[in-house]
Structure 1
Amino acid sequence: MSELTDVLSAITTLHQRGERMALATIVSVRGSTYRRPGARLLVPEHGAPVGNVSGGCLEGDVERIGREVMADGAPRLELFDLTADADEVWGYGLGCNGAMELFIEPAEHAIATAAALRTAIEDERACCLVTVLSGTDDVAPGARLLRHADGSNDGGLGSAEADAAASAVADRALAAEASAVTEVDNMRLFAEMLEPPPRLLVCGAGHDAVPLVRYAADLGWRVTVADVRRPFLTHERFPEATGFLDIDPDAVADAIHADRRTYATLMSHNYLRDIEYLRSLLGAELAYLGALGPRKRTIQLLRDLDRVDAIDRIHAPAGLDIGGEGPEEVAWAIVAEMLAVRHGRSGGFLRDRRAPIHTLEP
């Protein structure tokens, strides 16, 4: 989500300067590819591109096509086939065994919904962006409709009938929580599901919380730091934090409206405070709850709360087993574990995986 925010910010800035630009978006993939649908590359008329759509092998060609799109103003749907049989045709020699379809358009098409999309991201609201890849006489490629989870729309495709069709497609994507390319009423549409970024609650503002906040924020997560010691809760100490809580520990879950996209870590290093943090967090439906320190310490916390039955809900000690030492390595281990939980993975070695890395199969 942070990459999308960067692209939207760049589009707005360049538009205000009156500069031309092209936007390339991956809309579908087949086989093994470096990026997935929704990845973007913004090609400005002047200056460096923003974002990426590959590991570097396609950017040059995408930039070239983007400049052609800037010149003629016509959107293009391009297929980049990197399968072994097609390597010589494309001249990449990569053997990635995958193909991707990119929609490359004048980025001005995105202006109509950019502000509303940024607001939805900032307000942490789910939405679906529907982009016309190929249209009709009444609906032009590049037209957009932003559908919100509450049923409201921003932008539009140019007709009430097309808007109704796009809204129905978006509602299905929102319900499935998945993006898809769909054909309806002679239109080819890319329905891109955009979920709010995960939220992380860090309970404890000690020195070991600093890298954890930074690494999670680098992923675009919204990070709140809680501690009863108000002097520790400063933007100088945690410049990447989006919020601070200096309230009673037993009220933190309610204060942040903890839900299934909320991740939390106990790292106050104070036993009595951790009991109260844990009491509050066990009452919420969290995506992840981790606790620093030995597992026997967490078990004792649960005994004092008469909640030993909840031990399987807690990742204790928090983090993947990578042998990390020191605040930075421990923070990496915790962030990696939270990502594994988010994506339904075990956190093992990719070399041991028998299925494609972007599928849920083991």
Structure 2
Amino acid sequence: MKEIQSIIHAYETFQTEGKKVALATVVQVDGSAYRRPGARMLVSEDGELTGAISGGCLEGDALRKAQTVIFQQKSMLVTYDTTDEDDQKFGVGLGCNGIIHVLIEPIDYQNSINPIELLKIAIQDRVFCRLITVFSVKYSKQEQIGTRVLLKQDLIIGDKKKLDNLLWKQIQNEIEADDANNHIIRKFEEFDDLQVFIESIKPVISILLFGAGNDTIPLAKIADILGLEVVVIDGRKNLATPQRFPTASQLVTGSGDEVVKELDTDAHTAALLMTHNFEYEAQVLKDLLPLGLPYIGILGPKKKSEKLIERLEKKGLAVNQAAIYSPMGLDIGAEGSEEIALSILAEVKAVLAKKQGTFLRNKTGPIH
């Protein structure tokens, strides 16, 4: 999400400056690669890059091809084969060992449904979307159909005129059959081997940061670097201020029994209880539990959270402890507020991505 946000910002800047641009998108990967489908890079006519499609080995060549796309105003599909360890053309010595297909599209500022405008619509509110991109490896040298349609709730936004009606029905069938909201890449042999990248665009993770003490400032900063949305909540108006939390999307002050009512939450929301105030957090936790959040983290020793839960259960409240993480954070030997913040946000990311947060070297098979 951070990459999409950065690309949109750069796009708007280049539009103001009158610079032509092209968008490079990884649409398919066979084997291993540094970036996966959905990785993007915006290229301006004078060679400015925003985002990345690899670890740096492909950007130079993609830049040159993007400038060709800008000049010709025709999209192209570029395939990088890094499986040959003897081929140093694209920096294969870095060990990618994969085949990466990159769609490069010219961006027309006058087109209100160009690929970047569709991305803007996708992330303008907290709604899950599907972005449809059609390409052909078989006819890679020809102009590509490209990024055409955004599905947002019941809306179909974009231009599907270049899509055969039967192909469109097949795409809809693929989406309906996917209940995990994953990226989908399919080849349709009956449509002359056309390939479709159905990209899932999920809302950015929202962090409800309960606590505006000094130890939460590093967490808010790191979350901003990651592109997360941070809402700071505290009962102390002198601490929850724009000066202390300049990147917060919202500052909420009030007592523990009233603040949760002012918050918007969804399945991509994580709550972090870091106020160091037991009574405040007891009330907040009482109001958070019915919301069904995927992650509620409590700072401090396990005994603290046990006492909080015990108090609520004595009041007759059912406590689903599966979503409660206490002590919160991954065990990385964190000391100090910055390292603790890193530990906490790493756990939040792992939980919402449904990962275990283990060492990658211990995994068998692809890491993605």
TM-score when scaled to structure 1? 0.88
Distance 1:95 1:115 in 2: 35
Q: Which amino acid aligns with 2:182?
A: A
Distance 2:177 2:54 in 1: 25
**Structure 1 residue 200: Cα displacement:** 0.9
Distance change (3 Å), C-alpha of 1:140 and 1:32 = closer
Distance 1:81 1:252 in 2: 54
**Structure 1 residue 199: Cα displacement:** 1.1
Partner-residue secondary structure (3-state), 1:334: helix
What does residue 80 of structure 2 align with? 80
What does residue 108 of structure 1 align with? 108
**Structure 1 residue 143: Cα displacement:** 5.1
**Structure 1 residue 240: Cα displacement:** 1.3
Distance change (3 Å), C-alpha of 1:20 and 1:86 = farther
Would you say the 8 A contact 2:122–2:201 is kept in 1?
A: no
What does residue 360 of structure 2 align with? 350
Could you give the per-residue CA deviations for residues 179-216 of structure 1, whole angstroms, max 9, x where no partner exists? 22334555533221111111111111111111111212
Q: Do structure 1's residue 147 and structure 2's residue 151 form an aligned pair? A: yes
Would you say the 8 A contact 1:21–1:70 is kept in 2?
A: yes
Distance 1:338 1:145 in 2: 31
Would you say the 8 A contact 1:25–1:102 is kept in 2?
A: yes
Partner-residue secondary structure (3-state), 1:249: coil
Could you give the per-residue CA deviations for residues 18-53 of structure 1, whole angstroms, max 9, x where no partner exists? 322221100011222111111011111125200001
CA RMSD of aligned residues (A): 2.7
Q: Which amino acid aligns with 1:133?
A: F
**Structure 1 residue 133: Cα displacement:** 1.9
159, 168, 174: which one pairs with 1:156?
159
218, 239, 257: which one pairs with 1:250?
257
- Written as runs of structure 1 = structure 2, the 5 A alignment for 1:165-314 is 165=169, 168=172, 171-172=175-176, 175-183=179-187, 185=191, 187-306=194-313, 310-314=320-324
What does residue 127 of structure 1 align with? 129
Partner-residue secondary structure (3-state), 2:280: helix
Structure 1: tracts of 5 or more residues without a match: none
Query: Aligned residue pairs: how many?
Result: 354
Distance 1:170 1:152 in 2: 17
Distance 2:205 2:177 in 1: 19
Would you say the 8 A contact 2:122–2:129 is kept in 1?
A: yes
Partner-residue secondary structure (3-state), 2:37: coil
Distance change (3 Å), C-alpha of 1:173 and 1:16 = farther
Partner-residue secondary structure (3-state), 1:355: coil
Distance change (3 Å), C-alpha of 1:222 and 1:336 = same
TM-score when scaled to structure 2? 0.87
What does residue 46 of structure 1 align with? 46
Q: Percent identity?
A: 37
**Structure 1 residue 317: Cα displacement:** 1.0
Q: Which amino acid aligns with 1:299?
A: E
Q: Which amino acid aligns with 2:160?
A: L
Structure 2: tracts of 5 or more residues without a match: none
Would you say the 8 A contact 1:289–1:313 is kept in 2?
A: yes
Range 281-290 or range 326-335, more displaced: 281-290
